[in-house]
Amino acid sequence: MSNKTITLTDTLYNYLLEHSLREPELYRRLREETAALPEAIMQIAPEQGQFMHLLARLIGATRIIEVGTFTGYSALWLASALPEHGRLLALDISEEWTTIARRYWEEAGLAGRIELRLGDASESLAALCAERTLSPCDLAFIDADKCAYEHYYECCLRLLRPGGLVIIDNVLWDGKVADPRVNDDDTRALRRFNRRLLEDERVELSMLPVADGITLAMKR
């Protein structure tokens, strides 16, 4: 099929940022602090954060669940899209990373809207589904262990209201999903996940070449 997607050179990417990114100074500071960590690659791109913020605003999200919080950059963008009474439930396994996150959430005045649950995200999600005490969510952002994406997705879909949105990160996985020479566990898991989503009649679907690839799945 002919490819109509523009090639994003560094020059063009910088143009895109210069002409659309409205990243608050505090967010930029967190991004820079995170960039110095060995796991810096796990940080989402700023334009992706802003895009997810817009999506949350578009659907009028008041309840968001985030699977994989890391140092809290995506949660800043998402929680700032919530109204005062809105809540973001953040799931992550790392005390170290989320200590950084909490510091910035406090400074941004968003700590009151964010509840952090530390632990294995698969277990936290399974518990949330079993509890049935959580109000239906409007939006879920999945960005943790790639081998557990299918499980996260199934749980999130159950926790979402009809019309709710799941955003899944890293679906293009640095191009490895389309490279038959690459067959590590994460790549194979993402391939299987992408294939399953295509066939999933429970959702409306769009895969976008934003950053490392994101899929939007709206629960029918």
Amino acid in position 204: E
Contact between 89 and 66 under an 8 Å Cβ cutoff? The reply is yes
Minimum distance from residue 48 beta carbon to Ca ion (Å): 9
* Residue pointed to by tokens 């996940």: 193
Burial 45-77 (b: 16+ CB within 10 A, else e): bbbbbbbbbebbeeeebbbbbbbbbbbbbbbbb
Least distance CB 217 / Ca ion (angstroms): 16
Query: What SS3 state is found at 74?
Result: helix
Q: Toward Ca ion, which CB reaches closer, 86 or 142? A: 142
Least separation in angstroms between residue 6's CB and Ca ion is 22
Q: Which is nearer to Ca ion, 92 or 169 (CB)?
A: 169
Helix (H, G, I), strand (E, B) or coil at 138: strand
The CB-nearest residue to Ca ion is 169
Instruction: Between 138 and 169, name the residue whose CB sits nearer to Ca ion.
Output: 169
Which residues here bind Ca ion, judged by CB under 5 A?
Answer: 143, 169-170
Please report, for residues 45, 52, 93, the alpha-carbon distance to residue 219 in angstroms, rounded to integers and kept in the order given: 25, 17, 27
Least distance from Ca ion to the Cβ atom of residue 143, Å? 4
- 33/134 with CB nearer Ca ion: 33
Q: What secondary structure letter does DSSP report for 177?
A: G
For every residue of 81-104, DSSP letters joined together read TS-TT-EEEEEES-HHHHHHHHHH
Tell me the closest approach of the beta carbon of residue 152 to Ca ion, in angstroms.
Answer: 13
Our CB check for Ca ion shows the closer of 65 and 86 to be 65
